[in-house]
Structure 1
Amino acid sequence: MGDAITIHLIRHGKTQANTERKYIGHTDEPILPLQPVHIAVQPTIVYGSDLKRCQQTAACYFPQVPYEASADLRELDFGQFEMKTYEQLKDDPHYRKWLANPAQVTPPSGESFQALKERVGHAVQQIITGPGQYTFVVHGGVIRLLLAQFSQQPFEGLHAEHHLLYSCYWSHFSAWKEGERCTSISEVPIMVNDSM
């Protein structure tokens, strides 16, 4: 157990743009009110994006725990697609190409999938330096990217929902360091605390 590593991933609380099904990347929108919750992890530090929606979620879920913010853990920069919906974009040929192949097509004035992968990967490598438990409050795209990497499943087939705790476990730190698939992944609902 002493050499094991667990990485917990939590998506930020919903924002107005999320409820309107808009692409929200670097826009710094606050979250909608969150209920107090029971959560299955008790970290001593939480890592996450520097955007309000992640910092506010961490403050709600872990009010007494220090938060270490990094711009490298932000969502993809959607460029000209930012804060627009599928309905607004569906007739745009570049948008249709991007939807069909997000790994190879970059949103106009936005960020490539490869750039997202590199910056998130670099940030995570800087944070995870040994065995133990690590808790991240980040964005849907970042969680999908990390789950794809940790499970060696295709990014396109993965989802990252609000109010779920994703936990990825390796029995040996060296296995994570060498990029091996995680031993197990669990998804646990984050429950509203009825007693509060």
Structure 2
Amino acid sequence: MSSPSLTLVVVRHGLTAWNQSGRYQGHRDVPLDLEAARPGLDRLRAWSREHLQGLDAIHCSDLTRCRQTLAHLAPPGVPPHPEPRFDARLRELNFGAYEGKCYAELESDPGYRAWIDGRGERPPPGGESAGELRARLDAWLHALTRDAEAKGDGAYRALVVTHGGVLRELRRRFEAIDFWAAGVTQAEGRHFHLIRHGDAWRCEWSSAVPTPASATR
């Protein structure tokens, strides 16, 4: 029997008004700016119709902007897609007192500068540290790989709709890219293929989602 494998397509939600104004969103339930988000969502949906057949699971942040993005890609409960699992562990980092503010409003705040210089390891006021983000993603990934192992032989395929910070952390883990250098644009993501080797899961390859136009020529 071959080792269990996991094909994981992780996408960031579409564009919001706060994205456009450079404001920290975090756990604030900001909806999509549907008019501005539509071109990116349409491109992502065209890719998904070709590449997201035979899914075993759909996981989605419980925040509205991710729910709206998922509804554009795979309407919940519409065959052949499984029912989505909405999960607060897939939320963006909680930026606490910085949510709703942009860099220009915060740059002279000593606490904000200390948070930036410390690479988020200390939480912002009322918010969440990078370590707390890693811990909740550890728990989510453990449950996901357990589902993949339960399937046994053959690839387990999952779609995940989430936020920029979660994608940064997954790229840090699977692609060995520094968290702060691993940004992904709205309505884009990464395609990871993982295989279990002994007791550990290892990313064998990854690619951009949707596929860049230059790679399809």
- The TM-score normalised by the length of structure 1 is 0.87
Q: 2:209 maps to which residue?
A: 188
2:106 aligned to which of 89, 95, 102:
89
**Alpha carbons 2:14, 2:186 under 8 Å: kept:** yes
AA at the equivalent of 1:178: A
User: 2-side partners of 1:48 and 1:5: how far apart?
Assistant: 17
1:174 aligned to which of 194, 197, 216:
197
Q: 1:194 maps to which residue?
A: none
Most deviating of 21-30 and 101-110: 101-110
| Structure with a larger share of its residues in helix | 2
Does residue 71 (structure 1) correspond to residue 88 (structure 2)? The answer is: yes
State the Cα RMSD in Å: 2.0
User: 2-side partners of 1:99 and 1:119: how far apart?
Assistant: 21
User: 1-side partners of 2:24 and 2:88: how far apart?
Assistant: 18
AA at the equivalent of 2:190: Y
2:187 aligned to which of 149, 152, 163:
163
AA at the equivalent of 1:102: R
SS of equivalent to 2:24? coil
AA at the equivalent of 1:76: L
User: 1-side partners of 2:3 and 2:52: how far apart?
Assistant: 18
Does residue 149 (structure 1) correspond to residue 150 (structure 2)? The answer is: no
Q: 2:25 maps to which residue?
A: 24
Q: What is the Cα deviation at residue 13 of structure 1?
A: 0.9
Q: What is the count of residue pairs matched by the alignment?
A: 188
User: 2-side partners of 1:190 and 1:89: how far apart?
Assistant: 36
Q: What is the Cα deviation at residue 32 of structure 1?
A: 1.8
Q: 2:137 maps to which residue?
A: 120
User: 2-side partners of 1:41 and 1:89: how far apart?
Assistant: 41
User: 2-side partners of 1:88 and 1:103: how far apart?
Assistant: 18
2:57 aligned to which of 25, 45, 63:
45
Q: Which runs of 4+ in 1 moved over 3 A?
A: none
SS of equivalent to 1:173? strand
User: 2-side partners of 1:190 and 1:32: how far apart?
Assistant: 24
174 and 110 in structure 1: CA distance in 2 versus 1, 3 angstrom threshold: same
Q: What is the Cα deviation at residue 2 of structure 1?
A: 7.2
User: 2-side partners of 1:54 and 1:45: how far apart?
Assistant: 16
Q: What is the Cα deviation at residue 103 of structure 1?
A: 3.9
Does residue 57 (structure 1) correspond to residue 69 (structure 2)? The answer is: yes
SS of equivalent to 1:46? strand
Unaligned residue ranges in structure 2 (runs of 5+) = 149-154, 213-217
SS of equivalent to 1:183? strand
User: 2-side partners of 1:59 and 1:45: how far apart?
Assistant: 15
